[in-house]
Amino acid sequence: MKMNRLGTSGLLVSEIGLGCMSIGIEEETATAIIHEALEGGVTLLDTSDLYDGGRNEELVGKAIKGRRKEVVLATKVGNRRIPGQEGWTWDPSKGYILSAVKDSLKRLGTDYIDLYQLHGGTLDDPIDETIEAFEQLKREGVIREYGISSIRPNVIREYAARSSIVSVMNAYSILDRRAEETVLPLLEEKRISVIARGPLASGALAANRQPVKALTDYELAEIVELREQLKALTASGRSLTQLAIRYSLSHPAVATAIPGASSVSQVRSNLKAADCDALTGEEIALVRRVSKANLYKLHR
């Protein structure tokens, strides 16, 4: 498994990580998925305090017990549960971040987090205060580095200019190429790494699965047609899954792609992309000819 550096930090991550949101809530299954990923060379595990009300962090923590040094552990903060109320409320305040990290550490069974990420964000946030919280946690050794998880170019620009983030988690796939317009060039220039989430577009680009719903900018029939057009790039033995993951990794700003998995077999299928050659310039051009160059319509 190839290893890449996150930004200019000392964090080295596997080029294919594991997005843990879809591992479920059953401990045996979740542990098997995570262990399969680790055995396959994955080092980056991404979770959040938001997933399953904190249960996801607990399962990740249990799965890596005794293997903590093998893992670059990433989690997120900003969505706050209010006792007695349903759902979550957005809270990027310094006070909440400094409090929430303690709960995440407890659920994860660790005394430090490798990559702590703001799970969203708007221009109305107290951005300087949010940055202060992350910087304080970094000074204290509670976190090693921090980043943001956002698809809003206007927010990404602010953090790229005002903070020492090492990464931005952003949706990026053949079916969602919006980041190519402004986000990827900016982050490449700033030497801030992209963590590409959703490389398989909710399974729409997974081999041996059929797309079941429309996605942003694509009707269901268009997705089916695109899959057919991409077959020219899978004729040499590369599966659609592998092609999709390699495409998300093809931009120089991307350090790692984090497909999700709900079974051990899906982990194995995803990790086969690590054994495939990088896409050539001609192959990348072909993918871009048959897919849409999506554009951000909001939060530009």
Q: 3-state class of 164 per DSSP?
A: coil
Q: What token pair was written down for 123?
A: 């221009």
Tens digit of each residue's pLDDT (9 = 90 or more) over 242-276 = 999 999 999 999 999 999 999 999 999 999 999 99
Whether the per-residue pLDDT at 205 is higher than 80: the answer is yes
Tell me whether residue 205 is in a domain.
no
Tell me whether residue 194 is in a domain.
yes
What is the domain extent for residue 162?
3-200+248-277
Q: What token pair was written down for 200?
A: 């398989």
**Which residues have C-beta within 8 Å of that of residue 55, sequence separation ≥ 6?**
25
Catalytic, 51? Answer yes
* Spatial separation of the C-alpha atoms in residues 210 and 204, rounded to whole Å: 7
* Spatial separation of the C-alpha atoms in residues 295 and 193, rounded to whole Å: 21
Tell me whether residue 227 is in a domain.
no
Tell me whether residue 210 is in a domain.
no
Listed ranges 115-119, 207-211, 236-240; the one with the highest mean pLDDT: 115-119
* Spatial separation of the C-alpha atoms in residues 45 and 19, rounded to whole Å: 6
Beta pairing, strands 113-119 & 143-149: parallel
- Helices 183-190, 153-162: axis angle to 10 degrees equals 10
Catalytic site residue from 51, 96, 218, 247: 51
Number of Cβ within 10 Å of residue 26's Cβ equals 10
Tell me whether residue 157 is in a domain.
yes
Whether the per-residue pLDDT at 51 is higher than 90: the answer is no
Average of pLDDT values for 281-287? Answer: 95
Whether the per-residue pLDDT at 236 is higher than 90: the answer is no
- In the chain, the number of structural domains is 1
Whether the per-residue pLDDT at 82 is higher than 80: the answer is no
H-run or E-run covering 83: none
Query: Which residue from 95, 103, 7 is spatially nearest to 55, judged by alpha carbons?
Result: 103
- Residue 181: the pLDDT is 95
* Band (127; pLDDT cuts 50, 70, 90): very high
Q: Which has more pLDDT, 112 or 209?
A: 112
Average of pLDDT values for 194-222? Answer: 94
Tell me whether residue 97 is in a domain.
yes
- Residue 85: the pLDDT is 77
Bridge partners (DSSP) of residue 89 are 80
Query: Which residue from 177, 136, 15 is spatially nearest to 6, judged by alpha carbons?
Result: 15
| CATH label of the domain that carries residue 139 | 3.20.20.100
- Residue 247: the pLDDT is 98
* Band (86; pLDDT cuts 50, 70, 90): confident
